[in-house]
Structure 1
Amino acid sequence: MNRREFSAQALSAGVAAACAGLSPLALAQQGTAPVEGKHYVKLNQPVPVAGGKIEVIEFFWYGCPHCNEFEPMLDAWSKQLPSDVAFRRVPVAFRAEPFVMHQKIFYALDEMGLIPTMQRKVFYAIHGRHMRLDKPPEIGDYMQSQGVDSVKFLERLDSFSVQSKAKQAAKLAADYKIDGVPAIGIQGRFYTSGGLVGNMEGVIAVSNFLIDKVRNKG
């Protein structure tokens, strides 16, 4: 989901080949590699990356139906990434509300170590139960119903550290030029999205291609 509607694009043979795990060089030789500007974007200004691993970021919003549908696939893929890849999620904020509150929900859960158990539940609450989760009383009641201490959670929700992380997330999404989610950022140099590729299986394939490209200094 983006500020505009996603435009549908066909998945190229190169994306399918990327799924097969072929190297960027092999794909290029076959003339089937995902195409820059069509299946992925190369940033004009790279975003600084810390650490020795290849950084992979999913940019998402809890309220996005595409992110909700992508979550099971993303979760399975992220658990199978090679040891030289560091994966993390970053919630976006295209406007103040309800985006910022949803950012804060994510970071409060993260600080409490609850993302593994609560990530899909929050998606389900919004998309399956049609909850807004944009006001503290509703959020507190929901967390309590899921066995989360609502007092501690709401304290985290309004904490300086969570607010700071939300602002940092907004800056990172802006640096990556993200205008739609779900999107995958790779090593501060590339991103791909459903709007570019056309479906989320393709996003995984292009992400694998870009990870391999970075690994091979492409």
Structure 2
Amino acid sequence: MSLKPLLLRTLATVSLGMGLAFAPVSHAQAPSAHVTIEPAQPSDTAGKVEVLEFFAYSCPHCATMEPMVERWSQTLPDNVVVKSVPIAFNAGMADLQKLYYSLEALDRLDLHRKVFQAIHNERKRIFNFDAMADWVETQGVDRGQFQAAFQSFGVNNKVTRANELAKTYNIEGTPSLAVGGRYVTSPSMTGTYEGAITEAQKLLDTILAGQ
């Protein structure tokens, strides 16, 4: 089975009562490999062109694409920054957003890919605070420090900003890449994971050439 029909048909979301579920990707009918954002959005990182990787830990496509984006990010020039943005399509996913930002606050983003592995390969249901705290303890993270980060003002602010960005960029499917505040592309538009990264590179090249 080709990847494109699957990507055009499904979007991973999480329901705490039912586990992983799927919802349609609204960008599936996009006539091109990207959409243009109007007006263009400013960068949150001073002096840098931002590439925003919108993802959800519950999304199997994100789990597959994450290492590809990581490898691509290592090839980009110093004036470009790739930022992961966890988003929630329902209230049940909010704790997963806080998990990412808590790991970031604790300087433990080395566990980022392991979260995907735990959910999708090991079938661990780490979808709420208690389950997350139990899991991070097994990874050498102090439970008290994790709880403090999870409940912190800083983490809650970052979740709020992530939700704002998802709304601004009209992100209704994951994974999606927003490039330079001007464009959004995704595997559902290009047909493959690699195609989305290739398209993002083309868009980035256009932006950098115009600077």
TM-score range, shorter chain: 0.7 to 0.9
Query: How far 1:48 sits from its partner (Å)?
Result: 2.1
Q: Are 1:178 and 2:178 matched, yes or no? A: no
Closer, same or farther: CA 8–47 of 1 in aligned 2, 3 Å: closer
Residues 7 and 198 in structure 1, CA contact (< 8 A), matched pair in contact too: no
1:124 is matched with which residue? 117
Unaligned runs of 5+ in 1: 10-35
Q: Cα 1:74–1:86, aligned 2, differ >3 Å: closer, same or farther?
A: same
Give the length in aligned residue pairs.
190
Shift of 1:37: 4.4
Deviates more, 1:127-136 or 1:169-178: 127-136
Q: 1:26-54: CA deviations, max 9, x gaps? A: xxxxxxxxxx9410000122222242221
The 3 A distance-change label for structure 1 pair 46 and 8 is closer
**Counterpart-to-counterpart distance in 1, 2:188 and 2:65:** 13
TM-score of the pair, normalised by structure 1: 0.82
- Percent identity, please: 36
2:26 touches 2:172 (CA, 8 Å); kept in 1? no
- Give the gaps of 5 or more residues in structure 2: 1-10, 13-22
Judged with a 3 Å threshold, the aligned counterparts in structure 2 of structure 1 residues 59 and 7 are, in CA distance, closer, same or farther, namely closer
- Residue 193 (structure 1) aligned to one of 161, 178, 186: 186
Q: Partner of 1:24 in structure 2? A: none
In structure 2, the residue matched to 1:68 is 63
SS in 1 for 2:81: strand
Cα distance, 1:135 vs. partner?
2.0
Quick one: distance in 2 between partners of 1:7 and 1:171?
A: 19
The 1-side partners of 2:163 and 2:25 are apart by 21
Residue type of the alignment partner of 1:148:
V
Q: For residue 197 of structure 2, what is the aligned residue in structure 1?
A: 204
Deviation of the 1:216 alpha carbon = 1.6
Cα RMSD of the aligned pairs, angstroms, is: 1.9
- Judged with a 3 Å threshold, the aligned counterparts in structure 2 of structure 1 residues 164 and 174 are, in CA distance, closer, same or farther, namely same
Alignment of 1:1-218 (within 5 A): 1=11, 3-5=23-25, 37-50=31-44, 51-97=46-92, 99-115=93-109, 117-217=110-210
Deviation at 1:6, TM superposition (A): 7.9
CA distance in 2, matches of 1:181, 1:39: 15
- Displacement over 3 Å in runs of 4+: 5-9
After TM superposition, the structure 1 stretch with the greater mean CA deviation from structure 2, 78-87 or 165-174, is 78-87
| Shift of residue 177, structure 1, vs aligned partner | 0.8
Larger RCO (CA within 8 A; separation ≥ 6): 1
Residue type at the aligned position of 2:181: G
Residue type of the partner of 1:4? P
The code of the aligned residue for 2:59 comes to C
TM, length-normalised to structure 2: 0.84
Q: Please, which moves more after superposition, 173-182 or 80-89?
A: 80-89
Using the TM superposition, name which of 102-111 and 158-167 deviates more: 158-167
Question: Shift in Å at residue 8 of structure 1?
Answer: 7.5
Q: Max radius of gyration: which structure?
A: 1
Tell me if the contact between 2:57 and 2:115 (Cα under 8 Å) persists in the aligned partners: yes
SS at match of 2:91: coil
Task: Quote the Cα distance in structure 2 between the aligned partners of 1:8 and 1:167.
Answer: 27
Deviations 1:2-40 (A, max 9, x none): 64058889xxxxxxxxxxxxxxxxxxxxxxxxxx94100
